Structure 1
Amino acid sequence: MKNELYLLKFEPILKEKIWGGKKLNALFNKKISSNRTGESWEISDLENDRSVVSNGSLKGKSLQWLLKEYKEELVGKEVFKNFGIKFPLLIKYIDAAENLSIQLHPNDKIAKEKHNSFGKTEMWYIMQADENAELILGFEEPISKFRYVELVEKNELPEALNKVKVKVGDAFIIPPGLVHAIGKGVVLAEIQQTSDVTYRIYDWDRKTETGKKRDLHTALALEAIDLSSENGHEIAYKIQANSTSEIIANSYFKTNIIAVEGELTKDYSQIDCFLVLMGVEGESFISLENGNSEILKQGETLLIPASASKIKINSTEAKILEVRV
């Protein structure tokens, strides 16, 4: 007999990065083992990085095991029909103590042909930002492929890029092909397709501990890059207390923000899909109708199975990202 599904937490998969820092511990109490911890993968179904349940009767079971065992009960009928035993989203928190490499991601077509992978559309929600912290998002003005190659060869690429200063609560969509980088001093929540395909095109001339520069993917990037200067990657949205507000909805994911002051009931009976809750501010008490409950702190993540019809959220004051496909 299968255990009844409940509010699922997973062990964070912590990633050491050349640009990482200590804020995942300082802000979210993640048990980092290095002062260069750049990422906490909260929910992942990538082959070598599969999330493992950290709470309740299913503790120790992998996300892949859950998908095989519970199928549409976990993710919903339509999601299971479209993705099978592949969880469609990768959920992360990122700490950039230094600038990330300047990079871009391929679309679904290129990723499938070259890497047998999904493409990588992602969104960012800024959780903490040092004074004057910024992102790189696209080019200041449209350029030709010839000019782009020239900039790369002369090591002058950053001079042509668009920089955007950020603050807590800012949200951005990062479509495939967009040249981008998270700047020094930014901590953010990232929602993306399940893919780890990245084309690095500039890395600030830094070297690893072995004294070598990291590889660049100049040729691969040339096929996937968007050379326009189209802006509009920052997402405008409004927040209302004790309400759910949409940040973005596209063909890959829908992200809302829930602002809670007191008690809020969410009815999911008409939504045949899993939901991911990401604590981006404050602390909440989340409970199901069957009495199962969990505390969701800032920097933590919960997976609500598709079989859940209603939840209650209690908090003095909190903000939560609510994500589904």
Structure 2
Amino acid sequence: MSAPSAPIRLPANQPAQFYRGGAAIAALRSASSGGAASRAAEFGPEDWVASTTTLFGRDTEGLTRLPDGRWLRDAVEADPLGWLGRDHVEVFGSSTALLVKLLDAGQRLPVHFHPDDEFARRHFDSHFGKTEAWIVVGTQGSSPTVYAGFREALDARTISDWVADQDAPTMLNALNAVPVEPGDTVHIPAGLPHAIGEGVFVVELQQPTDFSLTLEWRDFLGDEAKGHLGLGFDTALKALDTSVWDEERLASLIRHTAISETAPESATVDLLAPGSRPFFRADRLRPRTPLALDPSFAVLVVSEGRGRLKNTRGDVHELSTGDTWVVPHAAGELELDGDVAVIRCRPPAARG
């Protein structure tokens, strides 16, 4: 079956997780349904949008099911050119090379990190590691914070001791604490130790895997093997970046994109730090006049307002706050207009 030639609106897809959250996802999604959020949208801190990725070690959990009943993964495999475009397929094959999540931290997440491509190939037989980025779309509480990178260079023995003792306060205090507000974005390279604080709601872009190596496993996972994904921590820690991330280096990961009097909104805002470009792309779209979108596989998250997507045939798709959409390459050039803000997430550019 060939790829559809129109964007597809997606329901929530919230596989069970080990931590609390989900209220912000339910509130966002219920905005487009008159306040009647489904039970599935009320529980679960992560919504995997247009996912062709499963939870680690699972067969289908995490996959997106299309309205016609097929898994998106199977639909893309059946027509990768239609879904992804020729240039993308020549570089990435039939992989979308992207996973997008809505992530609502109802509690602080544990200190963890992810492998890079080389480590993932060697130990997980995967083409992709797990570099990621966060776009902060909401916060709650008096001091919303994320944590990224060690404040001082550390040796492997010190970290091994922390992990063996499950010394959570020391592990967290070793990281840079970064206050965040809506509009901030943070690029998280593979290997970088990090955590998301309670009350932070993000759109997360990442490589399409579920490889999380969790230093602080005891109060979250309950099983040491789940922390190191069966590798043993001696091996897993070889993927950890133990270098120092000082203020200047940390600033290279962070962008502040909120609208202000000195930084008025343009129709298209590139949201992520330059280091993310080999892995994924994200723009905030707020059309002042009809805005042309080039053909591309994309995931759209409507963060506020109401608008329309129109194709060259004149077909119109109504957008509203809380919608999530997957756009096949075969949909062609689209036009976005209306009083709407959309986060457009895309794989890395296949050519440059």
Normalised-by-shorter TM-score class: 0.7 to 0.9
- Which of 207, 210, 214 is 1:193 aligned to? 207
Matched, 1:301 2:324: yes
Q: Name the % identity.
A: 24
Shift of 1:84: 2.5
* Shift in CA distance, 245/3, structure 1 to aligned 2, threshold 3 Å: closer
Matched, 1:258 2:285: yes
* Shift in CA distance, 4/150, structure 1 to aligned 2, threshold 3 Å: closer
Matched, 1:51 2:77: no
How high is the TM-score relative to the length of structure 2? Answer: 0.80
How high is the TM-score relative to the length of structure 1? Answer: 0.86
Matched, 1:247 2:274: no
Shift of 1:279: 1.8
* Shift in CA distance, 151/243, structure 1 to aligned 2, threshold 3 Å: same
Q: What's 1:229 paired with?
A: 244
Letter in 2 for 1:52: R
Letter in 2 for 1:86: S
2: CA distance, partners of 1:283 / 1:142:
48
2: CA distance, partners of 1:216 / 1:267:
41
1: CA distance, partners of 2:26 / 2:97:
27
1: CA distance, partners of 2:74 / 2:18:
32
Matched, 1:282 2:305: yes
Native 8 Å contact 1:20 1:35 kept in 2: no
Native 8 Å contact 1:18 1:36 kept in 2: no
Alignment gaps of 5+ in structure 1: none
More strand by share: 1
Letter in 1 for 2:118: K
- 1:240-277 alpha-carbon deviations (Å, 9 max, x no partner): 5452122235212122221234x422141xx5x32222
- 1:129-181 alpha-carbon deviations (Å, 9 max, x no partner): 11311111111222222332233344121221111111111101011000011
- 1:193-239 alpha-carbon deviations (Å, 9 max, x no partner): 11001100014x5267xxx4564323343110111222132124576
Matched, 1:116 2:140: no
2: CA distance, partners of 1:308 / 1:242:
25
Q: Helix, strand or coil for the counterpart of 2:75?
A: helix
- 1:15-73 alpha-carbon deviations (Å, 9 max, x no partner): 2323222222123235344865111001111252332223xxxx223213322333212
2: CA distance, partners of 1:238 / 1:36:
29
Native 8 Å contact 1:258 1:321 kept in 2: yes
* Shift in CA distance, 129/44, structure 1 to aligned 2, threshold 3 Å: same
Native 8 Å contact 1:14 1:40 kept in 2: yes
- 1:260-297 alpha-carbon deviations (Å, 9 max, x no partner): 34x422141xx5x3222222333332221223333333
Aligned residue pairs total 313
CA RMSD in angstroms, aligned pairs only: 2.5
Q: Helix, strand or coil for the counterpart of 1:68?
A: helix
